[in-house]
Structures are given as C-alpha cells and as structure tokens.
Amino acid sequence: MSFPWIASVRRTRRLTVHLAPARRSAVWNPILGPLLDEFNALSAKYTLGVQLASSDQPPRESGGADVAMESASGTVSLTFPGAEMRESFSGDRMHGLTLQLSRDGAMFKAFVYLPATPKINTPRGLRAVGPKVLTLIALHELLHACGLEDHASSGVFQTAPSVDPGTTAAGDQARIQPSAYHYMPPYVIDSGSATELRRLWAP
C-alpha cells in the first residue's frame, strides 16, 4: 500500500522538511546537514520524481513544511488538526516511525520520529550505532514520508537494517539483505520501491 500526496504538492515534485526539532538532538544533528542532499542524490539516481528541500517553518494546517522530523523516546504524541495520536516508542531501536496524515485518500502532512539513541549489540556490549546506519534509518523514514508504506526485502526500505558492528561506531555497516557481503553506503533502493515512488510522483 502507498499514499499519493495531495495534487498541489505532487505537482511541485518537491517536499519541504522541517529539521529544526531533530537538530536539537546531539545524536542526529551531525547527520542532518547532508541528509537531504543524500536523499536527493538517491532520487536522481533512481529517477524517483521527488526532491526534498529544507524549511524553517513547522507544518501548519494552512501551510508550513510538508514534513517534520524529530527524535523521540518513550512516547510519541501528535496533536494536529484532524489527527491526534499518542503511543509508546522505543528510543533504542534502529527503526523510526512516520505518521502519514491523509484526507480523501491523499497525504497532506507527514511527521517523522527518529529513535533518540538507537543502539547495537557488539562483542563489547550495547552501544550507540554509527552515522552510516543513522543515515540509513533517516532515509528509510523519508521514503515513508514520500508515500511508501509496505516495506521491501532489501535496500534502504527493508524492514529493519541488519548491521555488522565495526570496531568503532564509525565502522558500523548495514547489510543489503539477503547478501552477507554487500553493505550500505552506497545506499540503494530496491526496484519495487523505486517503481512505486515513480508512480506516486508521476507528473
């Protein structure tokens, strides 16, 4: 299943993203600078038909950014005209949560929640995961924000990353399932997800 954006947004072939709340996180701030450029490079490579741009305005009923991104732990809560939600959310997992708000079958806003301190098991015990995997988690959620729902079996949109820890967090790598020998980055999008995104954003 997937959700197209409202026609007024889809025509622009662009989503604006409010990153300010996520920038308050010491974990996520370092990867946010190049994040949208990384997504846009992927979109160009796979001709997805949509680009992302930063916005200094949070989403509002009558305007603001299309997408908001922030980190969370313990509880995720959202109050927005026409949508209220509150649920438990683990800040340690390697998977975020994206709420796709829709009316009449079309998305009009998306809210991305990133785990505050995603952790990985290593031979030396549990520790924070490194920047390459953080980027993968964020890219995955941005694909949800673009309208994708059903997960893939490989690439950025696989259900959960299978991560091989490095000797330090900087060396952590996510495997491209089902391969045990190919890693991201470079980040890849499976053909099914790419095809569906092209359909969602076709002019």
Confidence band for 185, pLDDT divided at 50, 70 and 90:
very high
75 within domain boundaries: yes
Asked, for residue 2, whether it belongs to a domain, the answer is: no
Model-level pTM?
Answer: 0.96
Domain presence at residue 202: no
CA torsion angle for 25, 29, 32, 34 (degrees, to 10)? -170
What is the CATH classification number for the domain harbouring 63? 3.40.390.10
**HSE (side-chain half, CA atoms, 13 Å) at 147:** 27
40 located within any domain = yes
- 13 inside domain: yes
Whether the Cβ atoms of residue 136 and residue 189 lie closer than 8 Å to each other: no
Q: How far apart are the C-alpha atoms of 59 and 138, rounded to whole Å? A: 19
Question: 36 falls in which pLDDT band (50, 70, 90)?
Answer: very high
pLDDT in tens, 128-141: 999 999 999 999 99
| High-pLDDT (> 70) share of the chain, % | 100
Average pLDDT of the residues in 80-84 = 83
Asked whether residue 1 is assigned to any structural domain, the reply reads: no
Please enumerate in sequence order all residues whose Cβ is within 8 A of that of 83, keeping only pairs 6 or more positions apart, or say none: 99, 101
- Identify the band that residue 181 occupies on the pLDDT scale cut at 50, 70 and 90: confident
Q: In this structure, is residue 147 part of a structural domain?
A: yes
Q: What is the Cα–Cα distance from 200 to 47, expressed in whole angstroms?
A: 12
Give the total number of structural domains in the chain: 1
Q: Which residues contact 128 (CB under 8 A, 6 or more apart)?
A: 27, 117, 118, 119, 120, 169
Residue 35 has pLDDT above 80, yes or no: yes
Residue 113: inside a domain: yes
Identify the H or E element spanning 183.
strand 183-184
Question: Using alpha carbons only, what angle is made at residue 71 by residues 68 and 75, rounded to the nearest 5 degrees?
Answer: 105
Could you list the residue range(s) of the whole structural domain that residue 190 is in?
7-197
pLDDT at 51 > cutoff 90? yes
pLDDT in tens, 111-158: 999 999 999 999 989 999 999 999 999 999 999 999 999 999 899 999
Ranges 32-46, 87-101, 108-122, 168-182: which has the least confidence: 168-182
Q: What is the pLDDT of residue 131?
A: 97
Average pLDDT over residues 28-44: 97
At residue 160 the predicted structure's pLDDT band, cuts being 50, 70 and 90, is: confident
